[in-house]
């Protein structure tokens, strides 16, 4: 049995869906590197990792924010309307 999750930004400009065959396909990570702390504005970054082919935008396109001094290749993205990631 598959799992379908839907979500989006607060203003509803971005909407996305995620289709997984099992919860084993997803994982979360807490990271305390400088790039993750800067992107989240906290002491650590919380990310969810899922197979890229299971994720799709239903509405809107995110704005990608480049970090000049990111040593791990992090490219945060978020709502282009309110510049929130």
What is residue 17's three-state secondary structure? Answer: strand
pLDDT single digits (tens) 10-49: 888 889 999 999 989 999 989 888 877 877 789 988 888 8
The answer to whether residue 28 is domain-embedded is yes
pLDDT single digits (tens) 54-63: 999 999 888 8
The answer to whether residue 84 is domain-embedded is no
- The predicted pLDDT at position 7 comes to 92
Q: With 50 as the cut, is the pLDDT of residue 85 above it?
A: no
The answer to whether residue 45 is domain-embedded is yes
Could you please report the per-residue DSSP string of 39-73? HHTSSSEEEEE--GGGEEEEE--PEE---TT-SS-
Two tokens, residue 14: 């971005």
The answer to whether residue 83 is domain-embedded is no
Q: Which domain holds residue 24?
A: 3-78
Of 28, 60, 61, the C-alpha closest to 47 is 28
**Total of domains in the chain:** 1
């Amino acid at each position: 049995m598959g799992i379908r999750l839907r979500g989006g930004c607060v203003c509803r400009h971005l909407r996305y869906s995620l289709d997984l065959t099992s919860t084993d396909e997803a994982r979360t990570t807490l990271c305390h590197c400088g790039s993750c702390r800067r992107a989240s504005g906290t002491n650590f970054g919380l990310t969810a990792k899922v197979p890229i082919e299971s994720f799709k935008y239903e509405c809107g396109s995110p704005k990608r924010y480049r970090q000049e001094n990111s040593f791990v290749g992090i490219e945060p993205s978020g709502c282009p309307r309110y510049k929130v990631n």
